[in-house]
Amino acid sequence: MERFTENLMYASRWLLAPVYIGLSLGLLALTIKFFQEIFHLLPNIFSIAENDLILLLLSLVDMTLVGGCW
């Protein structure tokens, strides 16, 4: 009985595999969006108002913190 329980617990780890794949895809999408925002910011850095720049930087920080939680 103990051996069966151990095998069942060991085999059940595969139930989380789709979840981890989904999280990895979400992290990849977040990374792409982060760099898209960086590339959008750089050419316009001198023409962006200070308040807009702060909001954009805060959104980048938010993306970084969300990505770090995974």
Cα–Cα nearest to 60, from 45, 41, 47: 41
* Angstrom distances, CA of residue 48 to CA of 17, 34, 42, 57: 43, 18, 10, 12
Give the predicted TM-score (pTM) of the model.
0.69
1-44 pLDDT tens trace? 889 998 888 888 888 889 889 989 999 999 999 999 899 889 98
Query: Looking at residues 48-68, what average pLDDT do you find?
Result: 89
